[in-house]
């Protein structure tokens, strides 16, 4: 795989339940960190991409507002939305802009201030990510959709609520070490198993929390990256696919076909296999989502993902460490910022800068970011 596009800077705000500032100030926190990390100034950025789910924002066209506040005018700015996968869709777009020769250095800024609206309104808006004629009017919610997938996985493969609880225990173990995570508490297996049901078989601790936060990733052409940075991380493979919005258009519910297809594309582009991945960040909005990711990404055969968590293989010292920053289950899930946060974690791993959660010798990392209930599936493979 030729090294054509690199990541030269990463940044993330703390993820919190109620950010007191504005969306422009929230975005600045991640942008400032990424620019300092890259060692560049705003005048060197020749395009920006702002990623968010707009139904949470009082400001119409926030991309223009944020570009102005960050000093990125008159360079062009673009708005990207694919719900929870918005910022990895933004990274894919930035990659294409750089590969085309239109731009040399692009900032991808993801943000969401979900506390702008109530939890009830947030759930209603998330439900509208499904078909608003035939599904969401009947009360479907994100927990209910993923509970349906959990039940299907249980029935098909024999996985259990305890297997899901083991994933949450792992997330809590590493979330304690992440100073940017919204939930930084250890959890025992019994605490997870005895928590209240949200929608069976998913319990309170099987679900991630809404959060406010921002992320920023700086991408550069190979020539520009070599000129500006001594700690580049290269984009080796990209995959993206879209599934039926309506659940009635799906062939099965024990996995996400968009992720399977996106993973296949990314591995092929990178000339790699699942066995080559040293560390992964997967979209664990619910514990069942992480379990399905093990299988959809090829880390385990269908139905055998439970063996990875039961045997500790997805822990830091295991065969394929997954979400050793605590994942969405601990960090929280500010929709537009989530994918960028995942990329930041992998970049730090590949640069050997991940501190207490560093995977020894990590050279190849994978990011799996999902929009909606697998409507959009993005997979990015990065190499040091």
Spell out the alpha helix ranges (H) of the chain.
23-38, 62-69, 86-100, 119-127, 142-157, 161-175, 189-193, 222-228, 257-270, 287-296, 305-310, 327-331, 338-350
* 171: Cβ contacts below 8 Å, ≥ 6 apart: 284, 323, 326, 327, 329, 330
- From edge to edge, which strands make up the β-sheet containing 77-80? 77-80, 47-51, 105-113, 212-221, 5-12, 233-242, 376-383, 364-371, 279-281
CB 26, CB 214: distance < 8 Å: yes
* 203: Cβ contacts below 8 Å, ≥ 6 apart: 161, 165, 192, 193, 195, 196, 197
Burial 285-314 (b: 16+ CB within 10 A, else e): bbbbbbbbbbbbbebbebeebbebbeeebb
CB 215, CB 91: distance < 8 Å: no
State the pairing for strand pair 376-383/233-242: antiparallel
Distance between CA atoms of 90 and 111, rounded to whole angstroms?
A: 12
CB 320, CB 314: distance < 8 Å: yes
Which of 51, 84, 216, 285 is the catalytic position? 84
* The two three-digit tokens of residue 326, written as one number: 């605590």
Distance between CA atoms of 167 and 207, rounded to whole angstroms?
A: 11
Which of 149, 153, 283, 333 is the catalytic position? 333
* 166: Cβ contacts below 8 Å, ≥ 6 apart: 189, 309, 310
Residue among 240, 242, 236 at smallest CA distance from 339: 240
* The two three-digit tokens of residue 163, written as one number: 């297997």
- 51 catalytic, yes or no? no
* 59: Cβ contacts below 8 Å, ≥ 6 apart: 23, 65
- 208 catalytic, yes or no? no
CB 310, CB 316: distance < 8 Å: no
Residue numbers annotated as active site: 84, 333
């Amino acid at each position: 795989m030729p090294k054509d596009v690199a990541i030269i800077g990463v940044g993330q705000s703390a993820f919190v339940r109620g950010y007191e500032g504005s969306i422009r100030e929230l975005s600045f926190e991640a942008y400032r960190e990424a620019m300092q990390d890259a060692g560049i100034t705003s005048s060197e950025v020749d395009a920006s991409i702002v990623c968010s789910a707009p139904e949470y924002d009082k400001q119409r066209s926030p991309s223009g507002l944020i570009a102005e506040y960050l000093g990125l005018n008159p360079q062009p700015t673009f708005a990207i939305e694919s719900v929870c996968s918005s910022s990895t869709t933004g990274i894919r777009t930035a990659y294409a802009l750089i590969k085309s020769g239109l731009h040399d250095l692009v900032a991808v800024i993801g943000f969401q201030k979900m506390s702008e609206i109530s939890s009830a309104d947030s759930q209603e808006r998330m439900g509208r990510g499904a078909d608003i004629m035939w599904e969401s009017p009947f009360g479907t919610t994100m927990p209910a959709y993923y509970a349906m997938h959990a039940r299907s996985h249980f029935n098909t493969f024999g996985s259990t609520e305890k297997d899901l609880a083991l994933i949450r225990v792992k997330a809590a173990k590493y979330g304690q070490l992440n100073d940017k995570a919204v939930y930084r508490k250890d959890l025992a297996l019994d605490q997870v198993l005895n928590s209240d049901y949200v929608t069976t078989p998913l319990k309170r601790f099987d679900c991630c929390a809404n959060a406010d936060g921002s992320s920023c990733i700086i991408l550069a052409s190979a020539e520009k990256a070599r000129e500006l940075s001594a700690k580049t991380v290269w984009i080796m493979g990209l995959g993206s696919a879209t599934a039926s919005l309506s659940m009635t258009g799906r062939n099965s519910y024990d996995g996400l076909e968009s992720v399977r297809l996106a993973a296949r594309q990314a591995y092929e582009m990178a000339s790699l296999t699942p066995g080559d991945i040293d560390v992964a960040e997967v979209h664990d909005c619910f514990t069942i989502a992480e379990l399905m990711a093990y299988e959809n990404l090829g880390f385990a055969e269908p139905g055998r993902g439970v063996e990875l968590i039961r045997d500790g293989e997805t822990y830091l010292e295991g065969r394929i460490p997954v979400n050793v920053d605590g994942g969405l289950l601990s960090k929280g899930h500010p929709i537009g910022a989530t994918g960028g946060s995942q990329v930041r974690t992998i970049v730090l791993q590949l640069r050997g800068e991940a501190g207490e959660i560093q995977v020894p010798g990590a050279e190849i990392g994978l990011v799996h970011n999902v929009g909606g209930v697998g409507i959009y599936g993005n997979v990015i493979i990065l190499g040091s």
